[in-house]
Structure 1
Amino acid sequence: MDVMIQRLDEALPAPSYAHPGDAGLDLRAAEDGELKPFERALVPCGFAMAIPDGFAGLVIPRSGLAAKHGISIVNAPGLVDSGYRGEIKVALVNLDPHESFSFKKGERIAQMMIVATPSITLHNISALPNSDRGAQGFGSSGVS
């Protein structure tokens, strides 16, 4: 699939896959920053994109970010709709109660997966059909 991007910061590499077959494009910080314990920030990534109709971008955490720094850093999942044309940004949160977290311009801070988003029609009914799982929720399939 071809997706058009507009680089807003030519000093940054375009989003890319780290390895062949990867599902997520690496997103990089467009600025330096520091998050104190429990602080959050919306970090720009230096590009905008035109996701095709019928698709969306899911901004998800990079598994290596917290491990690299040894503290609890997460990015809140985000959704980029196909009609959005502004700069892509990542919500970073420092969950460490003691240590600050610094990041540099160009550092990989999140990933984006482009996923199909079929249009659905909801039908209001009085009862749902039965299934093996039924209404059992969190933990219903066991802990291990």
Structure 2
Amino acid sequence: MKVKIVNQSSNPLPAYSTVLSAGMDLRANLEEDIVLKPLERVLVPTGLFIELPVGYEAQIRPRSGLALKKGITVLNTPGTIDADYRGEIGIILVNLSNQDFIISHGERICQMVIASHETVSWEHVEVLEETERGAGGFGHTGKN
């Protein structure tokens, strides 16, 4: 699939790290470092603008290494970029560690997955079909 992209940063275009990777790393587009303090959140610009085809979204997800090693994650995971959005991709990062984290220009801050989605139309009914599970949820099986 081809997706139109405008790159207003000096960073390379997002790319897959391996042949079977689902996500592409996005990089911070900064004029100066950002110091992200513990429990602080910030919107990090990427300098990227995309035009997705109808029926697709871009999902913004944390990088597992940053989450495990530094406690840095994407706050609204997964973030969704809709096909009709034309603004700059901005990433909401949060520092869940107890130490400051410095975000520098070019730092890989998240990953982006392009995924198809369906558009539903609701069918209003009075009763839903019964299932074995029924309305059970939130640990209803009792299994740990």
Q: TM-score, normalised by structure 2?
A: 0.90
Unaligned residue ranges in structure 1 (runs of 5+): none
Give the whole-Å Cα distance in 1 for the aligned partners of 2:109 and 2:12. 13
- Deviation, structure 1 residue 53: 0.6
Q: Which amino acid aligns with 1:87?
A: E
- Deviation, structure 1 residue 136: 1.7
Secondary structure in 1 matching 2:131: coil
Give the whole-Å Cα distance in 1 for the aligned partners of 2:63 and 2:137. 27
Q: Percent identity?
A: 42
- Greater shift in the superposed pair: 26-35 or 41-50: 26-35
Secondary structure in 2 matching 1:65: helix
| Aligned-pair Cα RMSD in Å | 1.3
- Deviation, structure 1 residue 68: 3.6
Give the whole-Å Cα distance in 1 for the aligned partners of 2:91 and 2:140. 32
The corresponding residue for 2:43 is 42
Give the whole-Å Cα distance in 2 for the aligned partners of 1:138 and 1:29. 37
Give the whole-Å Cα distance in 1 for the aligned partners of 2:34 and 2:133. 45
| Aligned residues between the structures | 139
Residue 126 (1) aligns with residue 131 (2): no
The corresponding residue for 2:109 is 109
Secondary structure in 2 matching 1:91: strand
Q: TM-score, normalised by structure 1?
A: 0.90
Encode CA deviations 1:102-121: one digit per residue, 9 max, x unaligned: 12111111111111111111
Q: Which runs of 4+ in 1 moved over 3 A?
A: none
- Greater shift in the superposed pair: 45-54 or 130-139: 130-139
Give the whole-Å Cα distance in 1 for the aligned partners of 2:34 and 2:58. 24
Give the whole-Å Cα distance in 2 for the aligned partners of 1:60 and 1:99. 22
Give the whole-Å Cα distance in 2 for the aligned partners of 1:43 and 1:91. 6
The corresponding residue for 1:63 is 64
